[in-house]
Amino acid sequence: MATFLESSYSLVHQDNAADTPTLQELRTALEKGSDESKIETMKRTLTIMLNGNAMPDLLMHIIRFVMPSKSKALKKLLYMYYEVCPKLDANGKLKQEMILVCNGIRMDLQHANEYIRGNTLRFLTKLREPELIEPLLAPARQCLEHRHSYVRKNAVFAIASIYQHSESLMPDAPELIQAFLESESDNTCKRNAFAALLGISHEKALEYLSGVFEGIPNASELLQLVELEFIRKDAVQNQGNKARYLRLIFDLLEAKESTVVYEAASSLTALTTNPVAVKAAAAKFIELAIKESDNNVKLIVLEKVNQLRKTNVGILDDLTMEILRVLSSPDLDVRRKSLELAMDMVSSKNVEEVVLLLKKELSKTVDEQYEKNNEYRSLLIHSIHQCAIKFSEVAQSVVGLLMEFIADFNNASAVDVITFVKEVVEKFPKLRSSIVERLVATLGEVRAGKVYRGSLWIVGEYSLEESDIQGAWKRIRASLGEIPIVASEARLLEEQPNGDAPPVEQVNGHAKPAAPTGSRKVLADGTYATESALTSQASAKAKLDAVKAAQKPPLRQLILDGDYYLATVLSSTLTKLVMRHSEISSDERRTNALRAEAMLIMISIVRAGQSPFVKAPIDEDSIDRIMSCVRSLAEFSQKKDLEVAFLEDTRKAFRAMVQVEEKSRAEKDALTKAQTAIQVDDNISIRQFSKKSAVDGAEEISQDLEKATAGDDTSATKNLTSKLSRVVQLTGFSDPVYAEAYVQVNQFDIILDVLLVNQTRETLQNMSVEFATLGDLKVVERPVTQNLPALDFLNVQATIKVSSTDTGVIFGNVVYDGAHSTDTQVVILNDVHVDIMDYIVPAHCTETQFRSMWTEFEWENKVNINAKMGKGKGLRDFLARLMAVTNMSCLTPEASLGGECQFLSANLYARSVFGEDALANLSVEQEGDNGPVTGFMRIRSRSQGLALSLGSLKALAKIGETA
C-alpha cells in the first residue's frame, strides 16, 4: 500500500464546540446509562477525540463499562475508540490498562458470533504495537479456518497487515496465505487472499498465479480483477511473461462482466502500443459505452477512447461509426462527447457513412421528440457543418438535406443552418447555383425572420446568372403579395363586413369577396338599431384587427408584424439583384422594369410602416436604409462606386470573416497537434536499456491514486510571493492577541491558516477562534480550543465551503478566559471578503449561444466606466486590461476590433467553477488620443449575486490608474 495512505486520518465535524461535556459527565453517562445512552456517549467521546482532545483519563471507564457489553453497535464504537486512543504513556511504553484491552480483544477473536470476530479482525489490521499484537497471533491464525467466510476474508488481511508492520511476529505469513488460497473455495476470500499475497510477497503471488494460469478466464469476477492488477505490475518486472499475459488479457476481453472487460482493456493499452491491441481495447471501450446504462460510465470510457486516439493517431479511424452508435443514449452530455470524438476521427474514407448516419439522426429530431431536442439538433447541425467544411465532396448533399428541413426546424436550428450555408456557398463556388436554386424554392415555407434575412442575403449575394435573378425575383414577389401594401390592405378593410366576422383569407395579397351585409338592423321590439360614436370606433378597431389577423404570405406577414430589419435586408437584396442584372444582361427594358418594381416595393414598405396596418411603426434607421437603397437604384448607372459597394465590398467583408474563422480553426488544430507532438531532440526511452525498477510502470495505479488524493508535494513549490499577497491582517498590533490569516483557495473551499500571537505576559486559557459567514459560505471545520503561553504563537486552520460566486464575507472573533473563570475576553477580527476572481475562469461560446443566454438571463448590472488612460494607451489597451481584471475572454473576432477608432464595442464571457455563466457587453469611447475612456459595461447572469459581484470589483475603478 502506498506510504501516503499510512498517514491518512478521519475528520468528524463537531457542530458546537461550546457544548462539549466535561470528563465527569462522560464518566457518569458511561457508569449509569443503558446501552442506547452509552452509544450516544461513545459517539460524543469519539467526536471530541477526533477534534483534538485525547481524553486519556477516560480509558479505564470505557474498559469497565463498555467492553463487557454484548451490543454489536457499542462493540463497533469500542474498537473505533481503541483505534484513536493513546496506547503509550509519557515514556513511550505501553500503558498498563492495555493488558485488559488485549485480553478483551483476544476473547472477541474467539467469540462465537462471526460479526464480532470479523469486526475485531478489521481492527487488528490497524494495530501497530507489537506488544499488543503478539498475544493475538494464535487466535488470528485460527480464524483462517473459521466456518464463516466473513471471518476468513478479514483474517487474511489481518495476517497480511501483521506481516507488513511486524514481520518477525509472523515470518511464515506468505506461505500461510498461499496454503489458504489453494484450499479456499469462497470467491471473496480467495480475492482477499490473493490481494494480501500480492502486497506481502510478489514471488509467492507469481507462483500461485502460474499454477492457476489456464483457469483465470473461468475464475470469478473479483479474482480476475485482482489478478489483472498483479499482471500489470509483474509484466514490468518480468518481461519474459509479457507475451503470455497479453494472450490472457485478449481472452479476458471477452468476459461477461463489464468491470473485467474495462480493466482488461486498460491493462492491454498499458502493456503494449501494438495497433491491433490498441484497436481491440478501443473497440471494447466503445462496446461498454453502448451497453452500459450509467451515463458516468459512458463518459469515462469515451474519454479513455479519446486518450487512445490522441496517443495513437489514425489507428482508431475505422471505429468512427461504432462511436456514433453511442448516440442511441438519451443523455445530451454523452451525445456531445460522442459527436466530438467522432468529428476528431472522421476521415475521407468514412465521411460519407458518418454524414449519412447524422442525416438519419437529424430526421429523427424532426419526427420524434427527444429530451433537449433542440440542443441535440444544434449539435448534429454543427457536426454536419464540420464534415462539409473539411470534406468538400459531401458538401452538396449535406446542404441540400439541411435546406429541406429549414421550414421544420425551430428558429435557432434554422439560423444555424443558414449560417452554415453561407460559409459553404462562399467556400465552394461550384455549388453556388444549385444552393441558390434550392434556397429560393424554400422561401415560401420559411416563417422565421432571422432565417429569412440570411436567405435573402445569400440570394442577393450569389445570384450570378440571369435565370437565378428571375427565379429569385418571382419567389420574393410571391412572398410579398399584392403591392402597394397599404392600398391592398385598405381595400381589404373596406370590404370587411361590420360586426364580428371570421378573418378574411388573403392569398398573395388578393382577398376573397365579402358577403353582402344586408339592410338596416331591426331589434326584437320592432325598432331600428342605433349606434354611438364609441360603438363605431369599436367596430372600426375590430375590422382593423380582423385585417391584421388575416392569413398573408410569409414575407408580407413578417414585415407587417414589425420586422423592419428584414425589410432593410430585402431592400438591399433587391438593389443587388437589379444592379447585377444590369451588369450581365443587355435587356435594358427588363432592367428598368425590375428597378421600378424594386423602388415600388421599398416605398410601399416605408408607407406600410407609417400606416395603422402594422403592429409597430417603422423606425428612422430602417427608413434611412431603405431610402438609401432607393437612391442607389436611381443613381447607380451614373455612379459606379455604388455598384462596387453593393456587389463587391459586402462579399469581401464576408470572405474576410470566413478566412478569420478558418485561421482560428487552423490555430486550434495546430495547438492540439503541438500538445501531442514529440520534438526531434526528445529522449528516446528504450525499455531494454533502462534500469529495472518496479516504480516505473508497476506503480502507475498507486501514483495516480496519490495524485488524486493530493499526496504529491506540488503545493510545496508554490511561489512564496503569491502566498504573502494573500495574507490578511485580522487584528491590530496593540490587541492582546495579534492574528493574521493566509487565505488558501481551493476549487470549492477556502482554508484559513490563522497565525495567533499572544502579546501578553500571561497564558491565555481556553482560547478559541470562532468564525461565522455571510452569503453562500459554510464553516465545515472549526479550530479546536487551545491554551496559548505568554509571548508564544500558534497556527490553527478553519475550512469554509463555497457553494456559489455570490459575495461572501467571513467574520469572527478570538475568545479566551480572563483572570477569573467567569470572565471571558473577546477580540473582534477584521472581515475577510471572498475574492470572486478565484472562482471565475475565461470561457468561450458561439455567438448564437451568447445571444440566447443574453436574452434568457434576467439579472443585469450596468457599470459606468470613466477611466483616465496613460499616454499612448487606447481602447484596445483598456479592453486587454479589463479582460485581465475580470477573468473574461473576448468573443468579438479580432477582425472586428481591428483598425483605429474612437469607439469600441465587444462581448465578453466567463464561467464560474460552479457552472454559472457571466456575460458582458462593453461599449466605450475615447475623446482624443489621450482623453478619458467613458461608456458602460452591461453584465448579465442567471443569478443576481454574480452580476453584482463582477460589477463591484475594486479593480474596475483602477483600470485607468494601472494602464
- Tell me the residue length of the chain: 963
Alpha carbon 395 to chain centroid distance?
A: 32
Question: What's residue 411's pLDDT?
Answer: 63
Q: What is the mean pLDDT of residues 957-962?
A: 59
Phi, psi of 307 (to 5 degrees): -65, -40
Q: What is the pLDDT of residue 496?
A: 66
Q: Give the model confidence (pLDDT) of 217-245 as tens digits.
A: 888 888 888 888 888 888 887 777 888 88
Residue owning grid cell 457513412: 353
**Alpha-carbon distance 885 to 872, whole Å?**
20
Q: Quick one: pLDDT at residue 12?
A: 63
For residue range 845-878, list pLDDT tens digits in order: 888 788 888 988 888 888 888 888 777 778 888 8
Report, as an integer, the average pLDDT of 928-954: 81
What pLDDT, on a 0 to 100 scale, did the predictor assign at position 121? Answer: 92
What stretch of H or E contains 512?
Answer: none
pLDDT band of 691, cuts 50, 70, 90: low
Residue 151, phi then psi, degrees to nearest 5? -70, -45
Q: Is it the case that residue 963 has pLDDT exceeding 70?
A: no
Cell 406600410 sits at which residue?
608
Most confident of 692-696, 714-718, 726-730: 726-730
Contacts made by residues 876-884, CB under 8 angstroms, sequence distance 24+ = 876/904, 877/963, 878/904, 878/924, 878/926, 878/933, 878/959, 878/960, 878/963, 879/904, 879/906, 879/922, 881/959, 881/962, 881/963, 882/908, 882/922, 882/937, 882/956, 882/959, 883/842, 883/908
pLDDT the model gives residue 407:
62
714 has pLDDT over 60: no
pLDDT in tens, 139-180: 999 999 999 999 999 999 999 999 988 889 988 999 998 899
The reported pTM is 0.68
pLDDT level of residue 675 (50, 70, 90 thresholds): low
Confidence tier at 780 by pLDDT (50, 70, 90): confident
pLDDT of res. 692: 47
Instruction: Please state, in angstroms and as integers, the Cα–Cα distance from residue 364 to each residue in 204, 374, 377, 395, 418, following that order.
Output: 58, 12, 9, 21, 20
pLDDT confidence of 3, banded at 50, 70, 90?
Answer: very low
The CB-side HSE value for 904 (13 A sphere, CA atoms) comes to 29
Range with the poorest average pLDDT among 130-139, 159-168, 660-669, 750-759: 660-669
Go through 316-352 and write b for each residue having 16 or more CB atoms within 10 A of its CB, e for each that does not.
beebbbbbbebbebebbebbbbbbbbbbbbbeeebbe
What phi and psi, each to the nearest 5 degrees, are found at residue 106? -65, -40
pLDDT value of residue 55: 82
Grid cell listed for 429? 463556388
Say if residue 27's pLDDT is above 50: yes
Query: Residue 186 in contact with residue 149, Cβ under 8 Å?
Result: yes
pLDDT of residue 395: 74
> Residue 557 — φ and ψ, nearest 5°?
-65, -45
469 and 581 Cβ atoms separated by less than 8 Å: yes
Q: 391-411: b or e for each residue (b if 16 or more CB lie within 10 Å)?
A: beebbbebbebbbebbeebee
Which residue in the block uniquely carries the three cell numbers 461477461? 256
Cβ atoms of residues 503 and 549 within 8 Å: yes
Residue 851 has, within 13 A of its CA and on its CB side, a CA count of 9
Mean pLDDT of the chain: 80
Residue 828 — very low, low, confident or very high, per pLDDT cuts 50/70/90?
very high
